[in-house]
Amino acid sequence: MAVEIKIPIAERVVVNTNVIKRNGQEVQFDITKIINAIKKANVEVGGIYQMNDFQISAIADNIAKKVAASPHAVNVEDIQDMVETGIMEMRGYEVAQKYVRYRYKREISRKTNTTDDGILSLINQMNEEVKQENSNKNPVINSTQRDYMAGEVSKDLTKRILLPEDIVKAHEEGIIHFHDSDYYAQKEHNCDLINLEDMLQNGTVISETMIEKPHSFYTACNVTTQIVAQVASNQYGGQSFTLAHLAPFVDVSRRKIRKSVVEEREATGEELKEEIIDKIVELRLEEEIRSGIQTIQYQLITLMTCNGQAPFVTMFMYLDEVPEGRTRDDLALIIKEVLLQRMQGVKNEKGVWITPAFPKLIYVLDEDNITEGTPYYSLTELAAKCTAKRMVPDYISAKKMKEYKNGDVYPCMGCRSFLTPDTVGLGEHGAHKYYGRFNQGVVTINLVDVACSSYGDMDQFWHILDERLELCHRALRCRHERLLGTVSDVAPILWQYGALARLKKGEKIDKLLYNNYSTISLGYAGLYEMCVRMLGKSHTTDEGREFSLKVMQRLNDKCAEWRAAENISYSVYGTPMESTTYKFAKCLQKRFGMIKGVTDKNYITNSYHVHVSEEIDAFKKLSFEADFQKLSPGGAISYVEVPNMQNNIPAVLAIMRYIYDNIMYAELNTKSDYCECCGYDGEIKIIEDKNGKLIWECPNCGNRDQSRMSVARRTCGYIGTQFWNQGRTQEIRDRVLHVSTTC
């Protein structure tokens, strides 16, 4: 009979680190569970092969020390691996065999239904990984939980049935990231550039209801919000529309208002002086524009799509999209009102004006608005004030975009995903077409893992890189082939009623997946850490820059090779990682241990960006990153971290002018926080609690209750407002300013 093992509490290693269970729940590490697991295997073998109390105690204590030394929460699978190794090191081979067999049986049992625990942990709000996966989704509310529950089922089907085993394994090990597997089971795609012009001018259908061409600007705005909500519920990524498509309706309202004013004055016997009529018309028109934009802003913020969040939508503001004259001036009126309302913000439930996450705004810098004295410079000044207060708009340089995109200027689809330039004329009469096109999906390569796997050997690096790129290629083919055969009926608003196409009922979308109509994205992450591992220095050095640009060119060459062979528009994409940055970091630490400057953080750097802790001024950063942005044609965005600039608008304008001359797409990261406990409206700080966890704290009153503070931070090209996982929180804490506080 086995002897009961009793280990004195005083001898046990005390560990405050958490453990991540298979369902994503974080729990306190418990050494007794290790002891009990070994005991169960121990009693299964003959007495001569059994381990003694002190051996079991030594194994458990050794594992506890490793867990305590880990800089992040350890997965339960990692601990089980440590148990196996520990038993073997004690020469308990027969016990190890029983333990492995028991573990295998448990694994088989779990695989009979892999989603139950995950779903139950979501409902009970115990899954820390999912709770902070998306900083714009509140995991407490029912609609978000429904989406997450469906996502658990989709991920399970994707992993067990829909994807090849080697791709699933590479994804789970953080070698690649197969994005949005929680939507992969359905035939959904990523991002859209909505053809709002077609839908407004030619009518559309929403929920089997015919929506005819609007007869006023206000109605056009209202219809736009309904279109955005419908589109958001039929795909999983970002979407963009341009205010230029709303501009013609300003004059529709102007004529309608004029007719009404004349009729009113005739009915009351008042003078019909043109000067008076014009003034009344413009006053009423301004009010309608104000109401229309307010409708867009408030409806898009308060609408909730089927995935439990406000539509992830971007509004594009480019004056030269419409003809010069009255229509362009009307567009300027719309843009002005958008900026004024965004600068004001929105009231939260406490009645405090705060910064909303959406819609994201993009303002195009061009010859007619970039310098003082140009026709629309006053709009640019207003944009600068808005950015200083509310972090948006972001900026596209028309000059640089025309240089990169064959003379065209058009918005990204969401926060950064750009379409491949139209060089063949996909629109009517051979005109270049962008609105109505979309992105099929993303797979990201972990460049840090490529570097670590090659152990600094350059020949080995290029060999492994090519192997991993081919793995990404096959994963991207899976995304493409999943969409093949999709009939237009699955999302009528997209495929039949103008958002993306006007296909017939029952018609397949296949032709839209080829010939450059839609893109598919090869993402990349960790260029900085890759360079440090291979060269021992940042990619901002001359040697590092040369090597990193060669890597970027290899990615582009591979996309060109695949595109030529398959007529599918592969494109290199600077991945906006949110929760994935933490996952990649944890996987790297597990595979390669702690490597200074490479794997010693709980995050890795987004795309080509200069590391967040590297001291560099705003202008040098933008200039340096411009070359890498050019090699990310599928999408990228650069940023500069700035202090409160509300009292230094000339400095904001100087950065904007530099963006215009040097880089295609960039943004300014300001701070926009509020503490409900004390009314503090400065920067809420990130501190470490006694257990080493990063938490948010008001520097004025010490409030740490996230439900009683409003924090807005740019994390992935868009603004997040629901807080972040530990990896992203650490990255935010480590950011240095690129503009001096005395600038």
- Catalytic residue numbers read 190-191, 413, 415, 417, 439, 573, 578, 717
* Residue entry with tokens 């750097």: 605
b/e 587-620 (16+ beta carbons within 10 angstroms → b): bbbbebeebebbbebbbbbbbbbbbbebebebbe
Contact between 395 and 659 under an 8 Å Cβ cutoff? The reply is yes
Eight-class DSSP state of 144: H
* Residue entry with tokens 């867009």: 296
Contact between 678 and 690 under an 8 Å Cβ cutoff? The reply is no
C-alpha–C-alpha distance, residues 494 and 195, integer Å: 10
* Residue entry with tokens 């979501």: 122
Contact between 591 and 446 under an 8 Å Cβ cutoff? The reply is no
Cis peptide, bond prior to residue 393, ω within 30 of zero:
yes
Residue 491 buriedness (CB in 10 A; 0-12 / 13-18 / 19+): buried
C-alpha–C-alpha distance, residues 467 and 258, integer Å: 67
Sign of CA dihedral 250, 332, 346, 418: positive
C-alpha–C-alpha distance, residues 701 and 684, integer Å: 11
C-alpha–C-alpha distance, residues 622 and 666, integer Å: 8
For residue 270, how many other CB atoms are within 10 A of its CB? 12
Angle at 341 between CA 339 and CA 346, to 5 degrees: 130
SS3 177: strand
C-alpha–C-alpha distance, residues 357 and 506, integer Å: 37
Q: Report the half-sphere exposure of 399 (CA within 13 A, side-chain side).
A: 14
At how many degrees (to 10) do helices 248-268 and 217-232 cross?
140
C-alpha–C-alpha distance, residues 245 and 436, integer Å: 13
Residues 6 or more apart whose Cβ sits within 8 Å of residue 470: none
